[in-house]
Chains A and B, each alone.
Chain A
């Protein structure tokens, strides 16, 4: 055994021993996940069964309402008794005001019996927006085809109540059966026999076997689950082994030994990897036990989907993923100066990795595409393809190599943190101060911005679509953002030049801005599309937003400065100026940028714009931090809005980009940030003031 290997082995065994002796680490990383997982699954299964039984055994009440109530009552009563033998019972409740009774929970469901024309009119009324034709669209188009005098039954229920939702579903089904029975009776009265049922036979045949379907279902979530297991297993150990050592003062002791930085990180990495893989293994075994006992239903026995040989192959395939997660956890821990800081930085990293692991859920994204070059996402897609029996060996090998390479590179970065003096030398903080404006209490900053947000919301709620967009922008941007920001600076006596970072940056920064703005918006569109899979945005909302931005009868080019320059200047003053500079005293750069981005997203008062605007907010925050000036973010912001509006005006959709297009945009954005990083004002080698001399 070489001296280096011996040192790594010594470090590893000692780390393992100290970890196993730490009750907190053992409970949090091993006992809790192992115990909680089965308890959670069992409880969830038990509750679901009890809920289903309770809903099945329950007697539901319904009321009949509407102008045709008396005519409909026998029909509904006949429908309600259908299937009573096999499931829940219904009884009618005679109430004066069925709508109010439904609200109060006195009845579970109300059948509203009217003529079809009333339903058609109501549907039109709901859909009628500013400037929209009074026509039924989307799912309600079939209503327009009904004869207006046809009796129409609307099952009214409360989706936020289990009993009401369940009653509605059951009653709808029984009304359907009643409808069919009456149709057959009509046909029979008209002299038709059973042949009216025998018009056309429709059946379906799935060529995929049950094991393939089960493989697809498992493949979609397998990597995400594994990722969560690896994180829950490895995070506590990683935090304890580097950030914890810094806090305890043992890291400096270790750094004065003969072990090199690489050896130290390798030993710690092996520990995190071993614990992460062990916990993930135990969790997977847990799941298998539950699947084996059929507490988790699958469309095929798991043994036919995952054979022992396949399981072994999958283990080897996901090993680089485990290595990458371990290295990332160690990197985050290495960059933190305390346990708490490591915990703060851990969450965004886990969310980012989970986002990549969702790649397997995206339809029609094969491994044989640009995704093979994206670590984690490539393993996710690869696992899915293997589980459905479509293994593309060449691309599986490339995915494996890419993720393994990323793990190695991340390890290198983690080792570098042990040579970064500001991270390893305890600083008392009296000489090294974080940038930003003089310290205010964080709650003051948050309270101020919460008030600004509330005012913005009030204004938005009280200005309809007919309100002049230019006036709205003047109120929001000029009044709330700029006015609120200057009031803040005045109230807390902040130097406005320092707070707003009014400094001229280096010329290279402008090159980075010109490259970054178009690529940033393309990447942002990609983020939006990903977000759209999580929070789908209705087409109508998008259309109405576009219409709201550029109302009819207003010149696009006249409006352009209002939508580019004004947000560029005013929003940057508020968010990258006042907010960011105030938060810099309390947060390290990454958490500060994320926080500024999220708050920026929230200020757009729209759930569907939250992700893309938060993404842009983080970009602008990073640009401001790297350049030490607010001007580049202002220009970038204005360019971003300009590009978005002009492409929208001419009908060029960035959403139509191919994956390769997004990859190219990401590369350009990375290039832009590389320029900013290389030209940042504090790029000269620096170290902190040592704490004690």
Chain B
């Protein structure tokens, strides 16, 4: 089974001033287990809209997407049970403690009740949050919150993880820590979709990269494949090459 399978996914909305806008326009890709799939694009390219459709927050206007074989349109609950979604806009409950947060997200996502306590303790140990697991989230530092947040994303042990610009608002050290954790999760066999506009992050972490611009995927492959296709070495140059190419093409 392909963990994430996207075909012709499209999102159209009507804007009062701009009329019909295609935020995501007929994109297709598939992700494999133990792979970090990167969505690389500038602000406004359509990354978050794509990931929100995959996590069933937004409904696709056309096309299909499936997570662990479950269609986002027809079986959204099954899709959400199979994935963990992390983004800068998905906040934690400020008035719960770290431990309560993990218990809540494990339970609400259907983790077996008998195993919740053990799972939470394992997460606390793994992410090194034991010291402040009993403190309310609103009293934690940014770095501590980030660890609790990643732990809650994987609380129910989902096979697919989505990280939408996870390093937004983090300092260098916390961003590197985040990358380390995502790498470890890939090593655990998770399928990870990772969106970013930071070239170095994508270069370091992603097994495959899709370059998205104005809602369309203009290129998709490993870094080596992209280098070979464009004849450029640095990801930044590769990205600019595709964006300029897209700019020359008629706007969809």
Interface of A with B (CB < 8 Å)?
A: 3, 6-7, 10-11, 14, 17-18, 21-22, 248-250, 252-253, 255-260, 419, 421, 424-426, 431-435, 682, 684, 686-693
Contact = CB atoms under 8 A, between A and B. Distances in A.
Contacts of B45: 693
Contacts of A432: 15-16
Given A259-B108, A431-B17, 17 more contacts: A7-B107, A10-B107, A11-B108, A17-B95, A249-B91, A250-B90, A250-B91, A253-B90, A256-B57, A256-B80, A256-B83, A258-B77, A258-B81, A684-B14, A690-B58, A692-B165, A693-B46
B132 interface: no
A690 B15 contact: no
B47 interface: yes
Given A249-B90, A257-B109, A693-B44, A18 B95 contact: yes
Contacts of A421: 57-59
Contacts of B95: 17-18, 21-22
Contact of A690 (B18, B49, B92, B93): B49
Interface string B48-83: 110010011111000000000000000001001101
B16 A435 contact: yes
B9 interface: no
A21 B58 CA distance: 32
Contacts of B104: 10, 14
A253 B95 CA distance: 15
Contacts of B21: 431, 689
Interface residues on B, range: 35 or more
5 contacts: A17-B100, A18-B95, A258-B156, A433-B15, A689-B13
Contacts of A257: 80, 105, 108-109
Contacts of B91: 248-250, 252-253
Nearest to A25: B95
Contacts of B37: none
Contacts of A424: 57
A524 B4 CA distance: 57
A426 B57 CA distance: 11
A253 B92 contact: yes
B23 A258 contact: no
Contacts of B243: none
Given A3-B110, A248-B94, A257-B109, A689 B47 contact: no
B135 to A, nearest CB: 13
Across the A-B interface, the 8 shortest Cβ-Cβ residue pairs: A249-B91, A256-B85, A253-B90, A258-B81, A21-B95, A686-B14, A18-B95, A687-B13
| Among A248, A257, A434, residue most surrounded by chain B Cβ atoms (within 10 Å) | A257
B149 to A, nearest CB: 9
| Among A11, A14, A419, A425, residue most surrounded by chain B Cβ atoms (within 10 Å) | A14
A250 B14 contact: no
Contacts of B142: none
Contacts of A258: 77, 80-81, 108-110, 156
B97 to A, nearest CB: 10
A433 B80 contact: no
B146 to A, nearest CB: 14
B16 A256 contact: no
Contacts of A21: 95, 136
Nearest to A10: B107
B96 interface: yes
Contacts of B141: none
Given A256-B80, A424-B57, A687-B58, A250 B108 contact: no
Nearest to B111: A258
Contact of B57 (A6, A252, A259): A252
B52 A425 contact: yes
Contacts of B49: 690, 693
B251 interface: no
A14 B156 CA distance: 17
Given A14-B96, A14-B104, A432-B15, A690 B23 contact: yes
B43 interface: yes
B89 interface: yes
A424 B56 CA distance: 12
A207 B156 CA distance: 70
A693 B50 CA distance: 8
Contacts of A686: 13-14
Contacts of A10: 104, 107-108
A693 B49 CA distance: 6
A419 B91 CA distance: 19
Contacts of A435: 16
B25 to A, nearest CB: 12
B142 to A, nearest CB: 14
Nearest to B91: A249
A682 B85 CA distance: 32
Contacts of A259: 108
Nearest to B41: A693
Nearest to A686: B14
A552 B62 CA distance: 69
